[in-house]
Amino acid sequence: MNQHDTQPLSGTIFDDNAEITVVELCELCSVDQQTIDALIEEGILEPRYREGSPRLPYRSVRVTNTVIRLQRDLGVNLAGAALAVDLLEHIDALRARLRQR
C-alpha cells in the first residue's frame, strides 16, 4: 500500500434536502447563468424560493450535466433534454423499487 491508500477521504455528503444557489450551480457545471435560466424556463430545473432568492436542489448538478452532455454529444434541444431527463429519473425510480424487493 502506498501513502495515498491510507489517507482518509474528505468531502461533503449531500442529501436530498441540500440546496445550492444558481451561482454555485453555474460554477459546478461550468455554465453561464443564461443556461441555468433556460433550464428553469423549460421546467428542467425547479428552483425553490427562500427569502427571495432561488435555491436549487443539489441534484440539479447531475441534471444540468446530463442536459449539457445531451446537447453537446447528441445535439438534443432543450425540450428533448427535458423529456430525456424525465425518462431517466423514472428509470432510476423503477430501479430503486426493484432493489427494494
Instruction: Supply the pLDDT for residue 7.
Output: 66
- CA–CA gap between residue 7 and residue 10 (Å, rounded): 9
Through-space distance between the first and last CA atoms of the chain, rounded to whole angstroms: 39
Q: In the chain, what are the domains?
A: 17-100 (1.10.1660.10)
For residue 82, which of 41, 44, 35, 48 has the smallest C-alpha distance? Answer: 44
pLDDT of amino acid 77: 96
Would you state the pLDDT for residue 82?
Answer: 96
List the Cα angle 57/20/96 in 5-degree steps.
30
pTM here is 0.79
Per-residue pLDDT band for 10 (boundaries 50, 70, 90) equals low
